[in-house]
Each structure stands twice: as C-alpha cells, then as structure tokens.
Structure 1
C-alpha cells in the first residue's frame, strides 16, 4: 500500500516485514515487573528515533543493512534478550504485568520513499513526513502477549541513502537504555560486515510483498503528528527515589522547568515511570493531575536539576558501517495528546547511583 497525506509529501511503501529473534534460545528467561498501572494510556507511550545515513559505497545501502540485520540484531538480542520480549499478565495478582524475554522478537520492516535523502531533510513538512519512517502498532491491552514492544524500520531513499527508524515502548526501556542498545547493535553490525565479504549478498534479504498483498498500514503515519511530543532531559542531584514525597517534588520541579522552557502549560495529567535499581528490575507507574500536584507543591526539591542535551546520549555516533555516521538524528515521544510523561532513570554510572536522569514531555 502506498500512501501520503498530501500531494506535497513523499509517498511511502512498506515492502517487507519479519521478526528478528535472538540467535540462541534465551534460558533462563528474564522478567521485569510492571507495577501500579493506574491508567492504560501508558500502554501506548513509546520512544521514536530516526537515524539518517548517506550512501558511502556501492555495498552500503538500506537494502543490504536490512538483509544483514537478521543476524546482527539477533546477536545483540542474545546479549539483551528483554528487548525481544513481550508483556504478559502475571500470576500473582489481577492486573499486574510483567515483561518476559520469551524470544517473541523485534519486528523488522523494510520500506521505500519517493524522494532523495537531501530532498526529504529539506521538507517544510518533515515532522509530519517522519511519522512514516517509524512503525508502531498499539499494544493490545486485553492480550498484550501478542504485541511487539520494539520495531525497526529501514527506509530506502531514491538516492541510495537510507534511514533506520526505531519505535520502542517506554514500559520496555527508557530512551537512554534504548540508545545504548542501538549503539551496541550498530557496533556488532559494523564489525560483522567488516569481517564478511561485502560483495557477498546477505543471507536474509527480507522477502518482498506481492503487489497489493500488504495489509500493513503505518499507524504512526496516521496519527503520529498529533501525538508527537518533544522531550527534555534533566539530570538530578542526589535523591532517594523510594520516597514518595521526594518523587512528587521532583515531578513538580521538572514540570515547572519544562513549561518554562516551552513557554506554555499544556498537559492536565502526567504519568511517571520509575525504573528501579532492584533485582529483578521493575517499572513503577504513577499518575498525577497537574492542578493538584502543582497546587500542593510538596516539599521543595533541594537537590537541584540541570537541563541535559540529547546529543550527550551518543546517538550521533551510531554507525552501522565504519565511518558512516548519521547526517541527522530525530527524537520524539509518542503518547496520548494533552498528557505529559516523565521517566525517572538511574544514572548508569554506579559510582553516582543516587543521581538520576529525568525525561520529560508536557503534552
């Protein structure tokens, strides 16, 4: 199916789709608990990022990248199998969810676009068009065990350039963990293809859909503009995330800073995802009404916060072919329009385990 929202926007076509699983069966399986779900809207919150690459050699193309991804991404999943996992209902209590590394796999798509990379990056409606470069299908809340939590879409441009679009549920991983996983996958891929005869075709070229045979439509493409939210990232001073009042104070302060940064108040409700440092790892989800939270203004947040940069995450260094760094990287969070979201993420540096990063959108 070929589609585009206006005559001025390029046309896209999804040409192939399959699942990528770890190259070896995961045993034992990992489990991450998701607790305190108070609003099902959090099911549809996800992080999107797009990496754009020029074609730098005759062997370098999105088609070749997609073909080798079956193996390289499978190797990355062997190291971190939770990224190929699924949500399921736990047995302990009704409504409790957990993410299990059941080797359900990452969904991989290949697509093409009717513009060159340079033309696309120069589009006035680029944000609208970018919604077609990532794929997302809403999690089935009744039967979540059948819904992928991670999608990769490789899109080929007319010039030979290509993009790698990522969609990942924020219940599965936070943006920092996602970028780290992508960096590791890119390193594995780059090393793998450098040790292989690049003139040799990949073993797993994605099978093409027959004409008019695809029933797949890009759900991000249909609603991705209205639920696209620009995130900010903050770094906190030392704090105890297990203290509820401290968390509420942090949420209030981050909302204030984000609203000052954007110059407006948009969301009436906020969800907070807390990634614990416990073993096994757990996601705690809380909901707050902005009016009550900001009016109450719990204890002042004394440890301080500073605004960080997405460039510090290292996404601009993600290279699937040695020396071919992305010419552009886009980030956004997709969620329910009019609702804000915060993710409280422990610092990966264990020497400062009481320091946290906070990702914030304000709806």
Structure 2
C-alpha cells in the first residue's frame, strides 16, 4: 500500500465488505427479550454501543487472517446466535432480538499509518472510530440493521488491529468479551486443523499471489474524519457484592451510587438523569432490562464500591497468530447529556460500567 502523499491527510481504505453468517441454522422462533420499563425506547438508546480495538504487531502475512475471520466468525456465531440477529419492536413497547441468522458485518481495511504512529497519536481515541465502524440502527427498520460490526485493519508496517462495535442492547461488555475470546479460540483451532488436514485452499491462491485482484477498493476516507463520539463521554468501572447492592433488588440505587462516585472521581458535573441497562445473569434465558431517564437525585446511594478495570474482561488474552495484543482499547460510546450505566451480574456481585458526558 502506498503511503499518503506529502501534505495529504492519511486515509482509511475499505477493501472488502462481507457478511458473516452462522454455519448452522438457528432453531425457528428464538428470541431474546429486551424489557423496557417505560416505553417507548428513544432512538438514541439504540445507538449506545461498546467499542473494542485490539492491536497486534505482525508481519505482512498477517493479512491472510482476513481469509479465516469470516469462516471462524460463522462457527463462533453458532454458539452466540444473538450476535447475528436483528432488533424488532414488540406490541407492548419492549424490544427483542430475533435470532434469524441475518449475520454480522465484516470489513477489511488498510490504514495509511504505521501501527506505532497510530498508537502514539494523541488523538487516537477519536480516530479509533475509523477502525471500528458503526452504522446507526434505524428505529423504523431495525430488522435491516446489523447489530455487530467487525473490521480487520492493516497498518503500513504489517501490524494490524481488530475493531468491533456492538449495540449495548445486544451485549454487555462481559458478553461481548466472551464472544470475542471464543471466536479467537475457534479461529486458531480452524487454522490448525487446516494445517494438519491439508484442506484444499485453491480458491484463495489468487488472493495470496495478487491480493489487489481479489479486493476492489470500495471507499476511502481521511482518518481525521472519524466522528468524535468516543471522546464525548468517559466511563468508570466499579465492582460490588450482591449483599452490598441490597441482594440485587435495588439496582437503581446501585447505579446512582456509581454515577455519583464516577462524577466525583472525574471532577465532572453530575448528570441529572441516566439510562440503566441490567444484563441478565444467564444471557441464554434471561432478559435485558432497560430503564430510561432515571432521575439521579433523591435515590439513596449508600453502597460500597470497588474500582474495576477494563482488563478484567480478559481481552488482553485474545491471542491471534500466537501473539497477544500489544494494546487493547475499550470504551462505551453514548451520546446526549444523560449518564449511561450498565449493571452486569458477575459471580456473587456486580460489575458496573458508568458513563458520564464530558
């Protein structure tokens, strides 16, 4: 890939856009409920999402990962079929994820920068939106919108990054991490089986020899044009025991306590209202609950909170090509003036992400 011309803004080039589909059909009529306490759910709630970008050092041969990602994604989606589903509105104002095998969006891109340059960029947080794309979910036609996007980005020095964006209504941070770790395990297993079984790869020979013949550039855009949505909010993580949280019965108070603590730690103004998302203890059977515009004042917030960190998700262990990432970036993208709290059952307690506007 040629470097950017002198004085020109570095570009991101989208080389391939595909859809990753489960390799096995999901049983009909399967859904996952998203219970909305006070419908209707505002359209902005559909766009609140998780973004993860994992960076790896590697040689040029790493670009062959793109051949395997789609195959391994298909296998992983068999164990996490909701990731390939679509949102739809229910008659009572709540929502659900229809497990309909519609698939996830997978893209390959090249970046006019080296891995080291990108990691050292003081504006990296904003520019990461170019590595982990997102298309807003339409409130009118949600069944036409992918809920998870994955992009494999190659840098000029051979390093690469895997960027993932996923609506918070589909998966909480722990659920997304479980999916990505399982995908990486399946990815490595499939590649190893191919080596031992010598499965024919003739359909990919042209790609290895002349990749430009198989990847027609779809579009390009300046890295600088990436939206600033990743820097308009800040997120703090906390942990608390179920006993301290009132046995799990008063999660609004727990969320308010986390809002107050995060506001104090970041020296920000307290948001007057927040949206609360409570993840199910068992994603396969339970429902996600959403409560919008919860008043932050007037709630008793006597909770003991411990600081937590994104590293507890375990994404630093996501191994590709036998190596771990040199850097992992995780964040919540949530617009508007309200706070955003996600409460996740975790063992005998809760892990809580608390996002407040800048």
TM-score (norm 1): 0.84
Secondary structure of the equivalent of 1:321?
coil
Match of 2:255 among 251, 256, 261: 251
Q: How does 1:103-252 map to 2 (within 5 A)?
A: 103-197=101-195, 210=216, 214=219, 222-225=226-229, 228-238=232-242, 239=245, 243=249, 246-252=250-256
Higher mean C-alpha displacement, 337-346 vs 42-51: 337-346
Checking the alignment, whether the CA contact within 8 Å between 1:44 and 1:138 is kept in structure 2 is yes
Secondary structure of the equivalent of 1:231?
strand
Q: How does 1:7-86 map to 2 (within 5 A)?
A: 10-36=10-36, 37=39, 38-55=41-58, 59=61, 61=62, 63-86=63-86
CA drift at 1:138: 0.2
Q: Deviation string for 1:47-94 (max 9, x for gaps)?
A: 0010001115x64x1x3111101111111111111111110123xx24
Checking the alignment, whether the CA contact within 8 Å between 2:34 and 2:287 is kept in structure 1 is yes
Checking the alignment, whether the CA contact within 8 Å between 1:16 and 1:209 is kept in structure 2 is yes
Q: Deviation string for 1:244-289 (max 9, x for gaps)?
A: xx22321221011101221111634311001234773211111235
Q: Name 2:334's counterpart in structure 1.
A: 335
Checking the alignment, whether the CA contact within 8 Å between 1:127 and 1:225 is kept in structure 2 is no
Q: Name 1:318's counterpart in structure 2.
A: 318
Match of 1:287 among 292, 295, 298: 292
Q: In 2, Cα distance between the equivalents of 1:100 and 1:241?
A: 31
Q: In 2, Cα distance between the equivalents of 1:81 and 1:203?
A: 28
Secondary structure of the equivalent of 2:341?
strand
Q: How many residues align?
A: 338
CA drift at 1:106: 0.9
Q: Name 1:357's counterpart in structure 2.
A: 351
Q: In 1, Cα distance between the equivalents of 2:356 and 2:8?
A: 30
Q: In 1, Cα distance between the equivalents of 2:246 and 2:136?
A: 34
CA drift at 1:180: 1.1
TM-score (norm 2): 0.85
CA drift at 1:39: 2.7
Q: In 2, Cα distance between the equivalents of 1:134 and 1:80?
A: 20
Secondary structure of the equivalent of 1:115?
coil
Structure 2's unaligned 5+ residue stretches are: none
Secondary structure of the equivalent of 1:273?
strand
Q: Deviation string for 1:1-38 (max 9, x for gaps)?
A: xxx9xx68531111110100111111245311112244
Structure 1's unaligned 5+ residue stretches are: none
Q: In 1, Cα distance between the equivalents of 2:159 and 2:223?
A: 24
